[in-house]
Amino acid sequence: MSNKHEFQTRVIHAGSQADPATKAQITPIYQTTSYVFDDVDHAARLFALQEFGNIYSRINNPTNDVLEKRLADLEGGTAALAVSSGHAAQLTTLHNLLKSGQNLVAAKQLYGGTINQFNHAFKQFGWNVHWADAKDNDSFKRAIDKNTRAIHIESIANPGGIITDIEAIARIAEQAHIPLIVDNTLASPYLIRPFEYGANIVLHSLTKFINGHANALGGIIIDGGNFNWSKDDRYPILKDPNQSYGGLEFHKALDNIAFAIVCRALSLRDLGACLSPFNAFLTLNGLQTLALRMQKQCDNALRLALFLRQQDAYVSWVSYAGLKDDPHYSLAQKYTPKGAGAVFTFGIKGGHEAGKKFVSNLKLLTHVANVGDLRSLVIHPSSTTHSQLTEEQKITAGAGPDVIRLSVGIENVEDIINDIQQAFENL
Ligand code: PLP
């Protein structure tokens, strides 16, 4: 698929072709664990990475391959690796960058589950986190020390709807020679393509907007191909000879796809968080309508944010970067002019108890721990997704006691508004 085609075309066609074996138009589900080698020399070449090809579905699978190629194309990266969930994408990425005793600098404004993963699970590996503030770019510079090996931000932060200044943080990362990882889950490449602003690695929870139908978990790591892993000795997994691949020097041998290949050849092989081809199939199916869904969801979100703004009796504040007087409006204009995403928060008058009652009163919006579905969703983050955080962490992550998070779907917007209206009136 040529890069000359527009996004709306590539989202349907990139990376796919008629199935070579059957001419099936739709990418088949290659529900197989293993692949027959041509002969022993062929097998040996595949195992030594002298030739790319299918070995075993923990490492590669033809259905997943189409999804990987499509996302690499849509984000403008060089190569991609699909994994079992967004969390697995984060684990797999950092596994190749950090050793025990080293640290990553991360924005405080992240999905609550990511804050937990970084604070707890990763600490067990001896990986430390230095928290920075997505609203204060210089805080990233201050948080970097000689042991920092990665910077992690979300392009649009979950749940607060904050727009992160990717370009400014990428400059800081470049000066410090540290890769910038951008979780682009809430924006999707339809709204923001972080590589255009200097990011080095893009991650997604495929579970959200990319799939859009809430029927499969998945994650993806996309290599920007724009980081020099051999400039100094900080990234030995990429630079040094690897004993488990006969002394292969990944960066030297694989150049601008080295990071994606390291994640596959080492982390998928050894950590095993592979994506089921059935989930890849469902994700590919959903992905085809991303451009249509995302635009409609952004349009509905803006309309809903404007409606909520007028509900003084029930609503104390609305945080949506698409509103002209929102503090993130100018960043939204720069990074996401087509719309400020479909996930945002508002404060309900009456705090924690009113929040819980409001959620119970809704009839059309469903109460689930998810975002990015084509259905409109609601949650009270303080008692659910962010409940494991301290009160202070909740507030900095945009998940205080009065916060309601909406993920706006593609339904008729008047129906969504009417449901919210009746939920307010029945408080
Ligand atoms: N990143 C963001 C921004 C998320 O919202 C989520 C989940 O909600 C994740 C990562 C983790 O993804 P998954 O649930 O697929 O592991």
Tell me the pLDDT band of 112, cut-offs 50, 70 and 90: confident
Nearest CA to ligand 1 atom 12: 86
Other residues' Cβ atoms within 10 Å of the Cβ of residue 290: 21
Q: What's the pLDDT at 344?
A: 95
Helix (H) or strand (E) holding 249: strand 248-249
pTM of the model: 0.97
Out of 84, 109, 158, give the residue to mutate to test ligand 1, the one with the largest number of ligand atoms within 8 Å of its CB: 158
Tell me the pLDDT band of 65, cut-offs 50, 70 and 90: very high
**Can you tell me the distance from the alpha carbon of 109 to that of 188, in angstroms, rounded to the nearest whole number?**
18
pLDDT(73) > 80? yes
Binding pocket residue ranges, ligand 1, CB within 6 Å: 85-87, 111, 113-114, 154, 158, 183, 185-186, 205, 207, 217, 219, 371
Q: What's the pLDDT at 396?
A: 76
**Can you tell me the distance from the alpha carbon of 143 to that of 136, in angstroms, rounded to the nearest whole number?**
11
How many A from CA of 102 to the centre of ligand 1?
24
**Both tokens assigned to 399:** 């998940």
How many A from CA of 245 to the centre of ligand 1?
32
- Which numbered atom of ligand 1 lies nearest the CA of 372? 5
Q: What's the pLDDT at 389?
A: 76
Residues 39-52: pLDDT tens digits?
A: 999 999 999 999 99
Residue whose pair of structure tokens reads 């990665």 in the numeric block: 150
Tell me the pLDDT band of 387, cut-offs 50, 70 and 90: confident
The count of C-alpha atoms lying within 13 angstroms of the C-alpha of 283, restricted to the half-sphere facing its C-beta, is 30
Beta bridge pairs of residue 103? 128, 148
pLDDT(1) > 70? no
Out of 83, 93, 111, give the residue to mutate to test ligand 1, the one with the largest number of ligand atoms within 8 Å of its CB: 111
Q: What's the pLDDT at 161?
A: 79
Task: List C-alpha distances in Å: 166 to 151, 196, 256, 260, 337.
Answer: 11, 9, 21, 21, 15
Q: Across all residues in the chain, what is the average pLDDT?
A: 96
Out of 85, 208, 220, give the residue to mutate to test ligand 1, the one with the largest number of ligand atoms within 8 Å of its CB: 208
- In terms of Cβ atoms closer than 10 Å to its own Cβ (0-12, 13-18, 19+), residue 119 is middle
Residues 226-254: pLDDT tens digits?
A: 999 999 999 999 999 999 999 999 999 99
- Which numbered atom of ligand 1 lies nearest the CA of 154? 3
Compare 160 and 251 and report the one with higher pLDDT: 251
pLDDT(171) > 80? yes
pLDDT(160) > 80? no
